[in-house]
Structure 1
Amino acid sequence: MKSLLSLAVAWLLPCHSLFAAENPIVLWSGGAPGALGTSPKDIPTLTPYLPAKPTGAAMLLIPGGSYSGIYEGQAEPFALWLNEQGLTVFVLRYRLGSAGYRYPAQLQDAVEAMFQIRGSAAKWKIDPKRIGAMGFSAGGHLVSTFINRPEDGMILGSDRSGSPRPDLAILCYPVISMITKPHGTSRKMLIGDSPEEKLVRQTSSELQVKPGLPPVFLWHTMEDKLVPVEHAQHYAAALHQNNVPHELHLYQNGDHGTGLIGTQHPWFADLLFWLRAQKFIP
Structure 2
Amino acid sequence: MTAAPPPALDGRVTVVAAEGRGAGPRPLVLVLPGGGYRMTAAHEGEPVARWLAGLGVHAVVLRYPVAPEGSTGPLHPAPLDAARAAVRWVRAGGTGLDVDPARVGVLGFSAGGHLAATLSTVGDEDADARPDATVLCYPVVSLEAEAHEGSVEALLGQHADDAARAALSADRRVSGSTPPAFVWHTGDDGAVPVSNAVRYAQALWLAGVSAELHVYPTGRHGLGLADDAPHVATWTTACAEWLTGLGWR
Q: 1:102 aligned to 2:72?
A: no
C-alpha distance in structure 2 between counterparts of 1:259 and 1:62, whole Å: 11
Match of 1:59 in 2: 29
Match of 1:140, as an amino acid? G
Query: Mapping of 1:1-282 within 5 angstroms?
Result: 27-29=5-7, 32=8, 45-54=12-21, 56-98=26-68, 102-120=75-93, 123-149=96-122, 163-260=128-225, 262-263=227-228, 264=230, 265-281=233-249
C-alpha distance in structure 1 between counterparts of 2:13 and 2:173, whole Å: 27
Deviation sequence 1:150-190 (CA, Å, 0-9, x none): 579x6xxxxxxx61100100000000111111101101000
Change (3 A) 1:65 1:151: farther
Whose Rg is larger?
A: 1
How far is 1:123 from its partner?
3.1
State the SS of the aligned residue for 1:127.
Answer: strand
Change (3 A) 1:209 1:274: same
C-alpha distance in structure 2 between counterparts of 1:80 and 1:261, whole Å: 15
C-alpha distance in structure 2 between counterparts of 1:124 and 1:191, whole Å: 36
How far is 1:97 from its partner?
2.0
How far is 1:194 from its partner?
1.6
Match of 1:50, as an amino acid? A
Q: Which runs of 5+ in 1 are unaligned?
A: 1-22, 33-41, 155-161
State the SS of the aligned residue for 1:169.
Answer: strand
Contact 1:115/1:164 (8 A) holds in 2: yes
How far is 1:266 from its partner?
1.4
Cα RMSD, aligned residues only? 2.2
Contact 2:27/2:104 (8 A) holds in 1: yes
C-alpha distance in structure 2 between counterparts of 1:80 and 1:91, whole Å: 10
C-alpha distance in structure 2 between counterparts of 1:44 and 1:141, whole Å: 22
Match of 1:212, as an amino acid? S
Deviation sequence 1:47-87 (CA, Å, 0-9, x none): 10112322611110110100000100000111111111111
State the SS of the aligned residue for 1:181.
Answer: coil
Match of 1:118, as an amino acid? R
Q: Which has the higher contact order (CA 8 A, sep 6+)?
A: 2
Query: Which 4+ runs in 1 deviate beyond 4 A?
Result: none
Normalised by the length of structure 2, the TM-score is 0.89
How far is 1:196 from its partner?
3.0
C-alpha distance in structure 1 between counterparts of 2:123 and 2:63, whole Å: 18
How far is 1:208 from its partner?
1.1
C-alpha distance in structure 2 between counterparts of 1:254 and 1:261, whole Å: 9
Identical pairs, percent = 33
C-alpha distance in structure 2 between counterparts of 1:145 and 1:44, whole Å: 23
Match of 1:87, as an amino acid? V
Match of 1:10 in 2: none
How far is 1:262 from its partner?
3.0
Deviates most, 241-250 or 96-105: 96-105
